[in-house]
Chain A
Amino acid sequence: MSDHTHPPLTPLQTTTVKYKPEDEVDFVVVGSGAAGGVVAKELSTAGFRVVVLEQGPWRTERDFVHDELAVFDRSLLTNDYSKSPNTFRKTEKEKAKVQPAVAYGRGVGGTSVHFSANFWRFREIDFNEASRKGTLAGTGFADWPITYQELEPYYTKVDWEVGVAGAPGPFDPPRSRPYPMPPHPPKSTGVLLERGAKKLGWTAFPAPMAIVSKQYDGRSACAQCGFCLGFGCEVRAKSSSLVTTIPKAVATKRCEVRPNSYVRKVETDTRGRVTGVKYFDATKKEIYQRAKAVVVCANGAETPRLLLNSKSNLFPNGLANSSGVVGKYLMFNGAGNAMGQFEHEVNGFKGIVATRVVWDLYELDPKLGLVGGGGFDYRFDVTPIGFGFGGLPPDAPKWGSAYKRELQKQYNRTIVAYGHTSSLPVATNSISLDPEVKDDWGLPVIRMTYQDHPQDLKLYKYFADRSKQLLEASGAVHAWALPTDSQEFSVHLLGTCRMGNDPKTSVVDKNNRAHDVKNLFVVDGSSLVTSGRGQPTMTIQALAFRAADQIVGFAKRHEI
């Protein structure tokens, strides 16, 4: 049994202040996820009056269930396609079809409630790869307007504010302060990754995870129950906004979080300034919350949708879209994965998702002719139903006694090697408004247009082969690479309101302020210029802390 003990968790405060819609608050924050939570906490702590609007409910630990069917197949914690469908097409020539294209957390805390909590920092190369390695014609591959060094203090702030467990490895970018707590104990997946990496001349080191490995800030240490990806954490060990930044924002008595508030439009006046936000409450009554400034933190799909839905006479192409790039340059992250079966029990279903990572291929040998790079971890985030469908090799029996025997033998001996990769910003990959399909509130839905760049498909294939090679080096009895087809669905929603110095080619400036609207800020995955190598949330939160610092400065100096 585990040796962790913790005092009983007390219910978290929800309401400490209430504002009237006609009160002009200092800020409305749209979205309460990884970024929105940080912004709300920082702005309210600095003395400002903040209203956070969240489309989903305010759940507590009691609402979380270990139920694979409910979370993966029934969207218990995520966007509900029956009320707000998506449409998808590969190219602009096609008519988009209704199909799920994005998944994000719908509820206070957003996706940080149910994510895996892999908390890789970006490295310096992620900010300046285009100028160091060369850009690629036909893409928007570009440098960021900020550097790793400028963001580093905020990465460190994230480590300590929300709680990140880890230990620096050989490829860890420079850090100004150690991790606040030690890494989680290595699982068999981690031990095997170390073994395989060593054989290939690579180095595995502890995975940085936003899951606390000891009691931290009144939260329990992780119970290693194994229900991270897709599930809410019942012991507050996962460092979601629900249990970190949002409670701190509420405790200032200056921040009101309104759940079940579905934002329709950011309103502007005749001078082109934002005046507040119109949203539907739980009864679908429209409410207009006035504010001096608005911060949109609705994620890389909903943020561009909201801006495009906020068009007016002054902003006929959508709010903050004089560049025409709102919604464009949609990036996911790529993946080149493999699966392997081992002789002894791995029991990957127990414990956190990943305990070791390998970053030796973060940058690739130029001779390979590939763009970008990636990092590896070993997981077994395959829940029982999922394993029954696709946990065995493609040539394994699909039914009968032989199938049953294989399920029985392999469930606890199987590992998925993930090669998480970069992906390129391409203008034609986008989030736009579907011209026909409407949601339950009568608003045009998210239309995704996406096709992986041919260079990216080559990169994914390269990583799938390396993943298989790693598993073999770890001693897998049998290993097989997984297909690397062009993606049609993602949970990493990046790049759709990109950051830049030039208002003609970007949506926000280096401080996350909209080029076109002085009192509008966009802070979430949409401002990323490059995709990084797979785990964007740490960088989204670091950017949010940095943006909040800037916004507080602007507000105090009356520069908003």
Chain B
Amino acid sequence: MSTLSRRNFVAALGAGAATVWLTAEARDLLAAGKRAAVAAQAQAPFKILTADQAADLDAAASRIVPSDGTPGAHEANVVRFIDESLAGFGKDQRDDVNKLVAELRRLAGERHKGAKSFAALTPGDQDAVIATMEKTKGSHFGLLRAVTVTGMFANPEYGGNANKNGWKLLGFDDHFSWAAPFGWYDRNV
């Protein structure tokens, strides 16, 4: 099982405990996070992904959280998060991500004869491929969803959640101080 898909949030909630995601040392990640913010700003070349891989992952992440009127995975720069994590704390996952891209391309070819990339498919065909992956046991759907969700909602310094687009979608804000009333029900007692 890959690290990025190991997180089982519902099970952890059931146990009443914090989730755990087993990986390397936190400090490396924090350092990587700061670099990621810089890289994103500079539109630097990808560190691990090829341009073609990045295009396919960007397209696939955009089917998980589409840009349908409001910003989605593309605007949140999820693919930059994936590249940065593969360069740092997620380096053990490079193989898995390569396999994910290969699966996307293979299914793209099956869907549309001659298609060499997932990104080249129409959004409708892309959705059909993702739907197939979701139904197929042993596919990399879980990994695709995991990296998209994490890149979407992790702190922006990791390279994703650009312009806090992920947090804005949820209505979450990391504000240092809040005061009552906090929500509708304590305002309207």
Interface residues of A (CB under 8 A from B): 1-3, 65-70, 72-76, 80-82, 99-100, 103, 185-188, 190-192, 223-227, 229-230, 234, 332-335, 337, 339, 342, 344-351, 382, 384-391, 394, 398-401, 403-404, 407-408, 411-412, 416, 418, 420, 482-485, 487-491, 534
> Is B22 a contact partner of A69 (Cβ separation < 8 A)?
no
Judge if B108 is at the interface, Cβ distance under 8 Å: no
Chain A residue contacts of B180, Cβ below 8 A: 185-187, 224, 351
**Complex CA distance for A230 and B20, rounded to whole angstroms:** 11
Chain B residue contacts of A347, Cβ below 8 A: 171, 182-183
Chain B residue contacts of A82, Cβ below 8 A: 22-25
Given contacts A386-B9, A408-B169, contact A2 B177 (CB under 8 A): yes
The answer, among A69, A188, A229, A401, for a CB contact under 8 Å with B154, is A69
**Complex CA distance for A244 and B155, rounded to whole angstroms:** 30
**Complex CA distance for A435 and B151, rounded to whole angstroms:** 39
Smallest distance from the beta carbon of B152 to chain A beta carbons, Å?
6
**Complex CA distance for A429 and B174, rounded to whole angstroms:** 40
Given contacts A74-B29, A400-B63, contact A337 B16 (CB under 8 A): yes
Q: Which of B45-53, B64-72, B98-106 contacts A (4 or more CB under 8 A)?
A: B64-72
> Is A335 a contact partner of B182 (Cβ separation < 8 A)?
no
Chain A residue contacts of B149, Cβ below 8 A: 385, 388-389
Smallest distance from the beta carbon of B133 to chain A beta carbons, Å?
10
Listed from nearest, the 8 A-B pairs whose CB atoms lie closest are A390-B9, A188-B183, A73-B21, A335-B16, A344-B184, A388-B149, A188-B185, A74-B26
Interface residues of B (CB under 8 A from A): 7-26, 29-30, 33, 63-66, 68, 70, 72, 89, 127, 130, 134, 145-146, 149-150, 152-155, 158, 166-167, 169-172, 174-189
Extra pairs beyond A1-B177, A187-B183, A490-B17 (6, CB < 8 Å): A72-B18, A103-B18, A192-B185, A404-B68, A411-B171, A489-B12
Chain B residue contacts of A416, Cβ below 8 A: 13
Given contacts A404-B65, A483-B14, A484-B14, contact A389 B146 (CB under 8 A): yes
**Complex CA distance for A390 and B149, rounded to whole angstroms:** 10
Smallest distance from the beta carbon of A188 to chain B beta carbons, Å?
3
**Complex CA distance for A344 and B172, rounded to whole angstroms:** 15
The answer, among B21, B25, B153, B166, for a CB contact under 8 Å with A72, is B21
Q: List 19 A-B contacts (CB under 8 A).
A: A65-B30, A68-B155, A70-B30, A72-B21, A74-B24, A82-B24, A187-B180, A187-B182, A225-B175, A346-B184, A347-B171, A347-B182, A348-B182, A388-B149, A399-B65, A404-B65, A412-B171, A485-B11, A488-B15
Chain A residue contacts of B33, Cβ below 8 A: 67
Identify whether the interface residues of A are mostly helix, strand, loop, or mixed: loop
**Complex CA distance for A186 and B182, rounded to whole angstroms:** 9
Smallest distance from the beta carbon of A474 to chain B beta carbons, Å?
9
Smallest distance from the beta carbon of A305 to chain B beta carbons, Å?
19
Chain B residue contacts of A1, Cβ below 8 A: 177, 179
> Is A69 a contact partner of B150 (Cβ separation < 8 A)?
yes
Smallest distance from the beta carbon of A534 to chain B beta carbons, Å?
8
**Complex CA distance for A400 and B67, rounded to whole angstroms:** 10
> Is A2 a contact partner of B178 (Cβ separation < 8 A)?
yes
Residue of B nearest to A98 (CB): B22
> Is A408 a contact partner of B30 (Cβ separation < 8 A)?
no
Residue of B nearest to A225 (CB): B176
Residue of B nearest to A386 (CB): B9
**Complex CA distance for A346 and B181, rounded to whole angstroms:** 10
**Complex CA distance for A190 and B189, rounded to whole angstroms:** 11
Smallest distance from the beta carbon of A320 to chain B beta carbons, Å?
29
> Is B11 a contact partner of A100 (Cβ separation < 8 A)?
no
Smallest distance from the beta carbon of A380 to chain B beta carbons, Å?
10
Residue of B nearest to A485 (CB): B14
Residue of A223, A388, A400 with highest tally of chain B CB at under 10 A = A388
**Complex CA distance for A229 and B18, rounded to whole angstroms:** 8
Smallest distance from the beta carbon of A195 to chain B beta carbons, Å?
8
Chain A residue contacts of B152, Cβ below 8 A: 388
